[in-house]
Chain A
Amino acid sequence: MVRINGITSSFLKGPTAHKPVVKRLILLASTPSEQFALTSLSKQVHQEMAWLKGIAQGNVEDFKHLFGFYAPRLKGYLRHLGFSNSVAEELIQEVMISVWRFAAQYNPSLAMPSTWIYRIARNRGIDELRRLKRQQAIIGSEQGYAGLNYDSICHYTPGVEYSSSNDHQKILLFLAELSPNQRQTIEMFFFANKSHSMIAKELGLPLGTIKSRLRLALGHLRKILIGEENPQ
């Protein structure tokens, strides 16, 4: 299990929570172990970008590396969404084949490789859940899946100007700085796709605690990315 280790700062809890991003970046870069953890994550992102570039040029070796890294992770994700073992493995294949087909459309200045792949997997997963639901609603109907289309993969908004590589760093820092409690809640929320009330029940905590934990953390992310506390 690759986890973000070695970073134990708790900026979100303490009085440093309101320090400007730049100051916190300097603080974080100041200890070697923290720098190491962040550097290795950045290295992973660059490695994946290189694989996607290779895949766009038809390099099967690069595809094999990417598959080796992502297939088990996608499986963990899809299984947590509630798919059976065999359906999850079918979906992984579809997602990875889409990656192969559309790798040339991947734009490293717009998204991290993981974000791009997650988007494909999530869209495919949601479509499948909706299809299964419809099938249950109309017993005996055999609606086949039409396949991922170009649209569901390339829905970036043209004209949005920001450097995503800058945002990657900020997101990695944000994750690294989360307190264990917040990290656990964020993981249950984004990885296992659980609702606020499901998380509260599982952790045996009041719903309000979960909601404020998430609000605090995500409001902080908004501030890091956009520089504003609230939508304006």
Chain B
Amino acid sequence: MTHTIPHALHHPNEDWLSDYVRGQTSEGMNLLISSHLSFCPKCQRLADGLEGLASTIIASAYPEPVSKNIWDSCLAKIQNLGSAASNPPTTEQIAAKTPTIACNDPAIPYNLRKLLPAEIDQLPWKYFVGKTIKEYKIGKDDGWRWGLVYTKAGGKLPYHSHRGIEATLILKGRFSDNTGSYKAGDFVMCDQTITHQPMMGVEDDCLCLYALNAPIQFKGSFLRLANPFLRI
């Protein structure tokens, strides 16, 4: 990974946004970035701009000849379908194509909500360190894994360092560490150069979406044994 890590920026930088637009991010990072965009109109606008840039390049360069028969075959297919005007998708059809979503929390971005099997408080959480921190794993692929971490107001995560990249999107609440303080919608990235201990705000519980491409390393031998984050 040759990307610059945007320390303490609260947003993904151009490296990550371009990879998102090019479809080159892992599934987990894709989820984090798309969720951040639904919080952040500026990054959304830049991502749209990068997409516009990519599409303009594609529309202005390097066409390759296509076989004659693909137009005929396309024409036959659309004639079977009927036109969008005479046959627009009905609300029911759109609803039928949209999977039933179990989580209806409006604070959770749509792309994330549709991956959750239940409301936030009903998820099969795994508790960690007393009852103040819990984790729900969403997926893993390509050396990354991603999920949710829920921490009680005023709680803190164990002091830890990173062997790879840790990206976090705050969905609810706030936390602060030695790099800065972060609120809902903020995108936080850490790498090997950062050792930190996120402390949650005292007013609200803090819900974060994270993606990791290497285990984080807790300081202290007891925690090292108890560490569910060690596995990727």
A: residues with CB less than 8 A from B are 1-4, 41, 44, 55-60, 63-64, 67-68, 70-77, 79-80, 89, 92-93, 96-97, 100-104, 110-112, 114-115, 117-119, 122-123, 125-126, 149-151, 155, 157, 159-162, 164, 167-168, 170-172, 174-175, 186-187, 189-191, 193, 195-197, 207, 211, 214-215, 218-219, 221-222, 224-226, 228, 230-232
Q: Name which of B77-85, B122-130, B197-205 contacts chain A.
A: B77-85
Residue of B nearest to A218 (CB): B14
B109-133 interface code vs A (CB 8 A; 1 in, 0 out): 0010010000000000000000000
A97 touches B78 (CB 8 A): yes
B193 at the interface (CB under 8 A from A): no
In the assembled complex, the CB of B100 is this many whole angstroms from the nearest CB of chain A, namely 13
Pairwise interchain contact B6-A72, C-beta atoms closer than 8 A:
no
One of B44-52, B158-166, B173-181 at the interface: B44-52
**Shortest Cβ distance from residue A133 to the other chain B in the assembled complex, whole angstroms:** 9
In residues 7-22 of chain B, which contact A (Cβ within 8 Å)? 9-15, 18, 21-22
Separation of A47 and B114 alpha carbons in the complex (Å): 37
A93 to B74, CA, bound (A): 6
Question: Contact between A101 and B51 (Cβ–Cβ < 8 Å)?
Answer: no
User: Which label, helix, strand, loop or mixed, suits the secondary structure of the A interface?
Assistant: helix
Q: Which residues of A contact B2 (CB under 8 A)?
A: 195-197, 207, 211
Bound: A150/B88 CA distance, A: 12
Task: Write the chain A residue with the least CB distance to B19.
Answer: A195
Q: Other CB < 8 Å A-B pairs besides A64-B75, A111-B48, A195-B2, 5 of them?
A: A92-B70, A103-B84, A112-B55, A112-B56, A125-B23
| Cβ contacts under 8 Å, A157 to chain B | 37-38, 41, 44
- Please, how many angstroms separate the alpha-carbon atoms of A88 and B41 in the complex? 34
Q: Which residues of the other chain, B, contact A80 by a CB distance below 8 angstroms?
A: 62
Q: Is the CB of A175 within 8 A of B77?
A: no
Q: Are A222 and B62 in contact (CB under 8 A)?
A: no
Query: Can you give 10 A-B contacts (C-beta < 8 A)?
Result: A57-B83, A60-B75, A64-B71, A71-B70, A100-B84, A114-B58, A118-B54, A122-B22, A171-B49, A231-B43
Chain B residues lying within 8 Å of A228, measured Cβ to Cβ, are 42
Which residue of chain B lies nearest to A230 when distances are taken between CB atoms in the complex? Answer: B9
Q: Please tell me if the beta carbons of A190 and B97 are within 8 angstroms of each other in the complex.
A: no
CB pair A226 B45 closer than 8 Å: yes
Bound form: Cα–Cα A58–B86 in Å: 7
A72 to B, closest residue via Cβ: B63
Count of B interface residues, CB-CB < 8 Å? 64
Q: A76-B64, A89-B67 are in contact. Are A56 and B84 (CB under 8 A)?
A: yes
Contact in complex: B51, A115 (CB < 8 Å)? yes
Contact B59 A114 (CB under 8 A): yes
**B65 beta carbon closer than 8 Å to chain A:** yes
Asked if residues A174 and B53 are in contact (CB atoms below 8 Å), the reply is yes
**Complex contact A193–B24 (CB within 8 A):** yes
Instruction: Check B48–A115 contact: CB distance below 8 A.
Output: yes
Q: A72-B63, A191-B62, A221-B53 are in contact. Are A160 and B45 (CB under 8 A)?
A: yes
| Known pairs A157-B38, A207-B2; A101 contacts B61 (CB<8 A) | no
The answer to whether B55 and A225 have CB atoms under 8 Å apart is no
Cα of A195 to Cα of B3 in the assembled complex, Å: 10
Residue of B11, B57, B81, B97 with most chain A CB atoms under a 10 A cut-off: B57
User: Is there contact, CB below 8 Å, between A60 and B57?
Assistant: no
CB distance from A117 to the nearest CB of B (A): 7
A219 CA / B14 CA spacing, docked (Å): 7
Across the interface, A75 reaches (CB within 8 A) one of B10, B61, B64, B114, namely B64
Residue from the list A68, A71, A168 in contact with B52, Cβ < 8 A:
A168
Residues of A within 8 A of B86 (CB): 58
Q: Which residues of A contact B65 (CB under 8 A)?
A: 72, 75
Name the distance in Å between B229's Cβ and chain A's nearest Cβ.
25
Q: A100, A114, A151, A195: which contacts B56 (Cβ < 8 A)?
A: A114
Cβ–Cβ < 8 Å partners of B63 in chain A: 1, 72-73, 75-76
Q: A58-B83, A150-B97, A175-B57 are in contact. Are A167 and B49 (CB under 8 A)?
A: yes
A175: B residues at CB distance < 8 A: 53, 56-57
Q: How far is the CB of A40 from chain B (nearest CB, A)?
A: 11
Residues from chain A with a CB closer than 8 A to the CB of B89 are 101, 150
Instruction: State in angstroms the CA–CA spacing of A228 and B52 once bound together.
Output: 19
